[in-house]
Structures are given as structure tokens and as C-alpha cells.
Amino acid sequence: MKMVDASISMLFGEDGLKIEVRDSPSRITFLEIHMTPEQVSMAFSRLMNTDCKMHTRELENVGKKLEVKKIEFPISERTKEAASAELEDFIPSGWGHDNGFSSQGSLKTKDGIHYANTIIRRWV
């Protein structure tokens, strides 16, 4: 078993408890636990193996380091649709992307050529 640095947050509300566990190196919240008020009460009363609901995501990246790069690439026209359609040609193998193109400056024209900017990510 591998130990990694992590952080945890617990949010109590009328509908119970939400626990989130975040892996520090990858910056992924990989585990969410939801408990009703009754389940929380049972768990705090030391009842072993209290039932709950949980959601996991991106477990394959836990313990890996997140690498982030900004890329700029030429596009045929200055639209989100063109940027989305042409993006795949400029992403290195093994990298993922956001594909949003909604932030200010994500689409621009420089010297008569249209460009798109996006953030790409991978875990190593």
C-alpha cells in the first residue's frame, strides 16, 4: 500500500455530512462520502461499518503529479466551434484538455491569423 499526502474536508448540513478526500500530488478530489444525519449519529456512536453512499473518480491518477501547460494553436476562424474541432491536432499523446474556450483571451487574432489558447493536463 502506498501512502500519499491528502486533505479532507467535512461539511455538515441539515441533510447530513459530506466528506471529500483530495489527493495532494494530483489535486484530484477522488472520494466523496455522503451520510444522512442518522448515519452520522450511528458512526459517532461507534457503530461499526455504518452504511453510507460514496462516489470515487480518477483513482488511476491518485499519487501522481499533475502537470499543466498552456498551448496556443492556429485555427481557421475565430470561433469556439473551430477551436474545438481543430484542437485534437495540437494535443500531445497522453494529455487531456478542457475544451472550453470561454475565458477572455482564449480566442485571438494576431497578424491576421486566428489562434486559440487552452490548458492541457496530464498526470505523471
Q: Which of 16, 33, 61 is the last residue of a domain?
A: 61
In a domain, 105, yes or no: yes
Query: What tens digit of pLDDT does each residue of 83-97 get?
Result: 988 988 999 999 988
Residue 55 sits in the same domain as residue 82: no
Number of domains in the chain: 2
- Output the pLDDT for position 21: 97
> In sequence order, which residues have a C-beta less than 8 Å from that of residue 12 and are 6 or more positions away?
40
Nearest one of 112, 120, 41, 20 to 75, comparing CA atoms = 112
103 touches 78 (CB < 8 A) = no
- Output the pLDDT for position 107: 92
Query: What tens digit of pLDDT does each residue of 8-56 get?
Result: 999 999 999 999 999 998 889 999 999 999 999 999 897 778 999 999 9
Task: Give the residues across from 72 on adjacent strands.
Answer: 117
